[in-house]
Amino acid sequence: MRKIVKSGTIVTDSHVFRGDVMIEGEKIRAVGTGFDEEGAEILDASGKYVFPGAVDVHTHMDLQAGKYRAADDFYDGTVAAACGGTTTIVDHMAFGPKGCSLWHQVEEYHRIADGKAVIDYGFHGVIQHVDASVLKEMGEIAGKEGITSFKAYMTYDFMLKDDGLFQVLKQAKEDGIVIAVHCENDGVINYLRRHYIENGCTEPKYHPLSRPAGCEAEAVGRMLHLAAMAQDAPLYIVHLSSRAGLLEVTKARRNGQKNFAAETCPQYLTLTDGLYQDPQEGLKAIMSPPLRKKEDNEALWGALRDNILDTVATDHCPFCFGKEKQAGAEDFTACPNGAPGVEERFRVMYSEGVAKGRITLHQFVKYLCTNPARMYGLYPQKGAILPGADADLVIFDPAKRRILTHADMHGAADYTCYEGLPAEGDIDLVMQRGNVIAENNRFLGSRGAGRYLRRGKSILA
Ligand code: URP
Ligand code: ZN
């Protein structure tokens, strides 16, 4: 059946124009005006924006983190994503058992995602130790599975040290793979965490003090140098949170370093470490890196405005406030790290970004849709309104208003960090591959309808 999304204001990362999108089956067939409407289903988008379905390249569905499991599995989490205008995720795998092969988590993630996800999904691999077989498996997995990116951590139990990171980068350069890195200085963090707890400083307000911005900046700078020494190996810095970290990115750009990108998240643009002052409420925002200061928010908005950053993802990693998060009530270091965000991103970024004049409509699409797809080998199938692309669209009404509240959300967590935020504009309809999967905040898709995405090469590789 043909569908025509009619008379909308179509927004891409480079153009805004009034027009129609003609859809045949799962694909966009044409973009223009004056299409033959005979026999077609018409979706009226007049007065509305038509955006590409958003792509969130940093989620942690069903994550096992130590003794805790994230609240959202691939069903709940992707229903939340769909209702929030996100039609594709690329999920970061949890660590597997010590010493496991890279294939172990690939197989595990197919087991936990397949048949559950309601939107299209891919995986980033995870590298938790380095040896000859791991290095060989990177290319094998990229070729056989279309997993063309792997994540490494500079902190946590299965962190890589510099020699491991360097070997992985060299291999990635050879194989055309992107290495996504969580950049924080492990030694300083561990010292500070111990120091605070030993001195009875156990409340959430010590969480940001135990992971200062300097830890991020040092690790971002070191990682950029390692990538430069590996012949500008493809590097993607996840969840940049601080002005200090941003300065390292800016410096590398000025020095002409190639093949790297940096992501930030709505929480680092809109929330501050003031939230940690309340010993209970503060638990909701325990995440790594932590929330920073207003100056950091402003610096990151400035970097989006100036096109210094590349993407806005969520690091969606929800735990329930009434349950798992309470593990941190007596000791912030015992709190599982992470917060929900996949459903909130689109509305928060439109309202706080576009409506407040901090970013343009094009930048909104670039950071939430097009660049994430480009970075991770999904463009132009995803993130684009072009003939031949998947018919993943969001019809958005800029005249509507919504107060964000957990009561209207669809994930399994019991809170949102944005409770009470007045959001300008709202999502009318979300379409995935030509099917309406959400309308007026109601989920209309079906369990297991999401498809696994074998990704191609990143523009960084
Ligand atoms: O606190 C967070 N972000 N938890 C998820 C794991 C990670 O560090 O990305
Ligand atoms: Zn993460």
Whole-number Å distance between alpha carbons of 414 and 399: 29
Output the CA 22–ligand 2 centroid distance in Å: 36
Residue 130: which of 98, 169, 160 has the closest Cα? 160
Whole-number Å distance between alpha carbons of 314 and 151: 16
Rounded CA Rg of the chain = 21
DSSP string, 111-171: HHHTTT-SSEEEEEEE--S--HHHHHHHHHHHHHH---EEEEESSSTT---HHHHHHHHHH
Q: Which CATH number fits domain 2-51+385-402+423-443: 3.40.50.2300, 3.40.190.10, 3.40.50.620, 2.30.40.10?
A: 2.30.40.10
Rounded to whole angstroms, what are the CA distances from 263 to 32, 72, 190, 309? Answer: 33, 22, 25, 6
Hey, where are the domains in the chain? 2-51+385-402+423-443, 52-375
Output the CA 455–ligand 2 centroid distance in Å: 20
pLDDT at 66: 92
Output the CA 39–ligand 2 centroid distance in Å: 46
Residues in the chain: 461
Evaluate if pTM is beyond 0.85.
Answer: yes
Whether residue 289 has a cis bond before it, omega within 30° of 0: yes
For a pocket test of ligand 1, which of 236, 287, 332 has the largest count of ligand atoms closer than 8 A to its C-beta? 287
For a pocket test of ligand 1, which of 158, 288, 333 has the largest count of ligand atoms closer than 8 A to its C-beta? 288
Rounded to whole angstroms, what are the CA distances from 91 to 77, 88, 144, 240, 408? Answer: 11, 10, 18, 18, 24
Q: What is the residue whose two structure tokens read 């942690």?
A: 60
Whole-number Å distance between alpha carbons of 50 and 3: 14
CB 236 within 8 A of CB 149: yes
Output the CA 10–ligand 2 centroid distance in Å: 31
For a pocket test of ligand 1, which of 128, 238, 265, 315 has the largest count of ligand atoms closer than 8 A to its C-beta? 315
Q: Are strands 393-403 and 311-312 parallel, antiparallel or unpaired?
A: unpaired
Output the CA 410–ligand 1 centroid distance in Å: 21
Residue 90: which of 444, 408, 427, 382 has the closest Cα? 382
- Residue 109 corresponds to which tokens in the numbers above? 């993630």
Class of 52-375 in CATH: alpha beta
Query: Which residues contact residue 457 at a Cβ distance below 8 angstroms, ignoring those fewer than 6 apart?
Result: 148, 176, 377
As to burial, measured by CB atoms within 10 angstroms (0-12 exposed, 13-18 middle, 19+ buried), residue 375 is: buried
- Residue 292 corresponds to which tokens in the numbers above? 């920073």
**CB environment 119-140: b (16+ within 10 A), e (fewer):** bbbbbbbbbbebeeebbebbbe
Whole-number Å distance between alpha carbons of 393 and 346: 13
Whole-number Å distance between alpha carbons of 318 and 86: 17
* Other CB atoms within 10 A of residue 444 CB: 15
Residue nearest to atom 7 of ligand 1 (CA): 288
Compute the half-sphere exposure of residue 116: CA atoms within 13 Å on the CB side of its CA.
Answer: 16
Residue nearest to atom 2 of ligand 1 (CA): 338
Query: Residue 371: helix, strand or coil by DSSP?
Result: helix
Largest CA distance in the chain: 74
* Other CB atoms within 10 A of residue 196 CB: 20
Ligand 1 binding pocket, CB closer than 6 Å: 60, 182, 287-288, 315, 317, 337-338
Q: Helices then strands (H, E): number in the chain? A: 13, 19
CB 421 within 8 A of CB 404: yes
CB 176 within 8 A of CB 142: yes
User: Is it true that 2-51+385-402+423-443 and 52-375 share their CATH fold?
Assistant: no
Residue 344: which of 320, 380, 313 has the closest Cα? 313
Tens of pLDDT, residue by residue, the chain (461 residues): 899 999 999 999 999 999 999 999 999 999 999 999 999 999 999 999 999 999 999 999 999 999 999 999 999 999 999 999 999 999 999 999 999 999 999 999 999 999 999 999 999 999 999 999 999 999 999 999 999 999 999 999 999 999 999 999 999 999 999 999 999 999 999 999 999 999 999 999 999 999 999 999 999 999 999 999 999 999 999 999 999 999 999 999 999 999 999 999 999 999 999 999 999 999 999 999 999 999 999 999 999 999 999 999 999 999 999 999 999 999 999 999 999 999 999 999 999 999 999 999 999 999 999 999 999 999 999 999 999 999 999 999 999 999 999 999 999 999 999 999 999 999 999 999 999 999 999 999 999 999 999 999 999 99
pLDDT at 1: 81
